[in-house]
Amino acid sequence: MSLVEDVLLGNRLALARLLTQIENGSETGRKALDELFAHAGKAHLIGVTGAPGTGKSTLVNQIARAYRNPAAGPPRQVGIVAVDPTSPFSGGAILGDRVRMRDLSGDPGVFIRSMASRGSLGGLAAATSGVVQALDAAGFEVILIETVGAGQAEVEIARLAHTTLVIEAPGLGDDIQAIKAGILEIADLLVINKADRPGVEASERALLSMLQLAHPKAHVFRNNFSKPGHFSETVETAQAEDQCIPPVLRTTATDGSGILELSEAIEQHRQYLERSGELAHRERERLVAELNLLVRELLVSRWRERLPDAQYHGFVARLVQREISPWQAAQGLLEASTAGA
Amino acid sequence: MSLVEDVLLGNRLALARLLTQIENGSETGRKALDELFAHAGKAHLIGVTGAPGTGKSTLVNQIARAYRNPAAGPPRQVGIVAVDPTSPFSGGAILGDRVRMRDLSGDPGVFIRSMASRGSLGGLAAATSGVVQALDAAGFEVILIETVGAGQAEVEIARLAHTTLVIEAPGLGDDIQAIKAGILEIADLLVINKADRPGVEASERALLSMLQLAHPKAHVFRNNFSKPGHFSETVETAQAEDQCIPPVLRTTATDGSGILELSEAIEQHRQYLERSGELAHRERERLVAELNLLVRELLVSRWRERLPDAQYHGFVARLVQREISPWQAAQGLLEASTAGA
């Protein structure tokens, strides 16, 4: 039986092996992805991102547990992909992972995979996308994609998700304005975690005023987890009025406060995506972004294969001597590789 | 007189105009960079990066002021390039910038430029590199390149610098381990800013043990700014033993503590780079990284120009229907564009 068939039948060991092949960008992994692609497209892909220190890993654990023990309905199969664009370590070497393992391991309905930097951002995003696709095809119904930080890397990885959660925490300092400006574009839900800490009111006010600045005509609602039931109405109202406004929720992942409300908000976002036709739109955007990433990687590797080393080093030498500018060198290299093709 | 000549003569208005052209990726900007390239290569390029909340902007201001009022020697011409890969805003709209402006504006020896996301990471890094080159050619002797965050974007931008400072602050939480793993590779100097805050000892211990883990045979020294003179010896000793070990310094940018020692450490790193031949090596690496970025951008834009829109959309449609996988679509698109060339 092939690796792909094993994966489709739910063999965890086969899945783990396949993910390694995909991460390494091997031919086996690539071909398996081609086969699996037709089986994927069913999972709800949830991106979770935010600055360091916001407690993302603990929050992701809690969300996974909520899907495993839902208030209503059957438990869901949950995949977790933890992506760290800043770390050269992979495969469970990341600190937050050990904590996670202790918490969720042994549950056959949860599959956890850590991914680290593959040298280039494009490479990491492409590998992440492949891993998510394989988990999707393997039958995981909810896939949580967690990234550290809030830079361009995270924005590219967030494009892989249907629903994106941006996590904040009180008192992260003066750069917070700059982060939010970029984050507003990608967030479907804003979460202030560590909501038991001082400064939560100020963080929430800052977030809400940023949101109002960005959407001057819209009303912004917030989740108040002391009033159960309140949030579910307001999210739908807000989304009906302006689909761009991310609701702001408070959680304390360490004691579980607000997790139920967060899970409901995620589920409502998914329902909203389906009802509005936005899901199909996002799925398309997601696939196009992935395609563009792959094209970029392929263009660079094919160009480099076509170009003789001597020519590359010749241009580099003239560049280092400042005889030609970087732009002139780049133009020259492209012409050289085209001529040689 | 041409824009380039004006810039070389020190005309600030001409420089500001040229930087806008470079940021916009215009033909004028591109040609000017080709001309300016032979005049660049003299400045000391200092990258400053770190997670949000570490107080980077204030620290960069203080470093700039130290270069403007040195303990010995003439004041230096200082350029500051503040890069925010997460923000869609540019040209002084970033909050930290206003503070900076108030602090340093009016000093003709300082030139400040803010840069924001250009849609793609490659585009931003290329534009930053161009702006730095123009400032270098215009006679700025020290150029501080500040980036928000610690993701792949910052690593790519750090490759543009000769000396890279990584800024930490006490109490940024549990993700800190993951960040440092990636950061160790790019840091020449590690700075714990906000050193007046509780938790500075713990942060320093964590950093030092990470460094020792990464360099088991080496001794790690730390700056103790209560003992002046101590650091200058230890840096040189450490660098002689193992050039990879970044010294750890403490600063409090808001009151200026540790800034003098930091400036000295930066200067010593520069001298070390020159003495060891490492400067030439880094300059080469820097230019090669820039060249590779430009090649990547050019490959993508040329490919897209060659490809008829109808063909692109045809492949996208089959991908969205899941008839072909992203990899198959990418391969198909590359073959289509080659066939059409």
The count of CB pairs under 8 A between chains A and B is 254
Which residues are paired to B145 by β-bridges? Answer: B47, B81
**pLDDT(B232) > 70:** no
Which residue in the set B173, B287, B319 is minimally distant from A53, CB to CB?
B173
**Which tens digit of pLDDT belongs to each residue from B9-25?**
999 999 999 999 998 88
Q: What is the mean pLDDT of residues A211-222?
A: 53
Q: Which residue of A has its CA nearest to B129?
A: A326
Q: Which residues of B touch A296 (CB under 8 A)?
A: 296, 299-300
Q: Which phi and psi (to 5°) does residue B266 adopt? A: -65, -45
What is the rounded distance in angstroms from the CA atom of residue B10 to the CA atom of residue B139? 8
Name which of A201, A195, A162, A187 is nearest A246 in CA terms: A187
Which range has the worst mean pLDDT, A2-11, A204-213, B287-296? A204-213
Mean pLDDT of B135-143: 97
Residues of A in contact with B178 (CB under 8 A): 52, 84, 86-87, 94-96, 148
**What SS3 state is found at B47?**
strand
Please write the tens of the pLDDT for every residue from A133-177: 999 999 999 999 998 654 555 666 667 899 999 888 887 654 444
Chain B positions touching A315 (Cβ under 8 A) are 291
Least Cα distance to A169 among B152, B137, B299, B175 occurs for B175
Looking at residue B99, its pLDDT comes to 54
**A303 contacts B88? CB cut-off 8 A:** no
Of A156, A174, A303, the CB nearest to B299: A303
Identify all chain B residues contacting A169, using CB atoms and an 8 Å cutoff.
173
Q: Are A160 and A45 in contact (CB under 8 A)?
A: yes
> What is the per-residue pLDDT for B154?
62
Asked if the model's pLDDT at residue B236 lies above 60, the reply is no
In B, minimum Cα distance to A57 occurs at B175
Contact yes or no for B149/A85 (Cβ under 8 A): no
Apex B178 CA angle, B172 and B183, nearest 5 = 90
DSSP letters for A262-330: HHHHHHHHHHHHHHHTHHHHHHHHHHHHHHHHHHHHHHHHHHHHHS-HHHHHHHHHHHHTTSS-HHHHH
Task: Say if the Cβ atoms of B94 and A327 lie within 8 Å.
Answer: no
Cα nearest neighbour of A87 on chain B: B182
Tell me the helices (H) and strands (E) count for chain A, helix number first.
Answer: 14, 7
Residues of B in Cβ contact (< 8 Å) with A129? 326
Number of Cβ within 10 Å of residue A329's Cβ equals 26
Q: Find which of B327, B333, B337 to mutate to test the A interface (most A CBs within 10 Å of its CB).
A: B327
- Inter-chain contact B303–A295, Cβ cutoff 8 Å? yes
Residue type (1 letter), B70 = P
Which strands, in side-by-side order, build the sheet including A142-147?
A: A110-116, A78-84, A142-147, A44-50, A163-168, A189-192, A248-250
Query: For B223, how many CA atoms within 13 A lie in the half-sphere containing its CB?
Result: 29
Q: What are phi and psi of A49, to 5 degrees?
A: -140, 170
Check B316 against A41: CB less than 8 A apart.
no
Paired tokens of B58: 């204030």
In this predicted structure, what is the pLDDT of residue A253?
Answer: 94
B282, B162 Cβ separation under 8 angstroms: yes
pLDDT score of A95 more than 70 = no
Do residue B87 and residue A182 have CB atoms under 8 angstroms apart?
A: yes
- Closest residue to B149, CB basis, from A84, A151, A302: A151
pLDDT higher than 70, residue A223: no
Q: Give the span between the Cα atoms of B192 and B215, in whole angstroms.
A: 20
Is residue A36 within 8 Å of A137, Cβ to Cβ? yes
Residue predicted with more confidence, A178 or A109: A109
Phi, psi of B285 (to 5 degrees): -60, -45
Measured CA to CA in angstroms, residue B227 lies from A136, B169, B206, B217, B261 at distances of 58, 21, 22, 26, 10
Number of DSSP helices (H) and strands (E) in chain B, helices first:
14, 7
ipTM of the prediction? 0.75
Look at residue A6 in the predicted model and tell me its pLDDT.
96
- Please, which residues bridge with residue A44 across strands? A142
Asked if B295's CB is within 8 angstroms of A330's CB, the reply is yes
Q: What residues of chain B lie within 8 A of the CB of A334, using their CB?
A: 295, 298-299, 302
Q: Which of B174, B180, B184 has the highest number of chain A CBs within 10 A, making it the mutation to test binding with A?
A: B174
Q: Count of CB atoms within 10 A of residue B209's CB? A: 11
Q: Count other Cβ atoms within 10 Å, centred on residue B214.
A: 16
Minimum CA–CA partner of A176 in chain B: B52
CA dihedral A115, A117, A123, A126 (to 10 degrees): 30
d(CA A205, CA A208): 5
Residues from chain A contacting residue B294 (CB–CB below 8 Å): 326-327, 329-330
CA atoms within 13 A on the CB side of A334: 20
Which residues of chain B lie closer than 8 angstroms to A302, CB-CB?
334
Nearest to A271 by CA among A225, A232, A229, A222: A232
Q: Do A51 and B56 count as a contact with CB atoms less than 8 A apart?
A: no
User: Per residue in A9-53, pLDDT tens?
Assistant: 999 999 999 999 998 889 999 999 999 999 999 999 999 987 777
Q: Chain B: nearest CA to A185, how far in angstroms?
A: 9
| Structure tokens that stand for A303 in this block | 């160009």
Interval B54-76 mean pLDDT: 92
Inspect the interface and report whether the beta carbons of B178 and A54 lie closer than 8 Å.
Answer: no
Asked if A247 contacts A223 with a C-beta cutoff of 8 angstroms, the reply is yes
CB B95 to CB A177 under 8 A?
Answer: yes
Q: How far is C-alpha B82 from the chain's CA centre?
A: 8
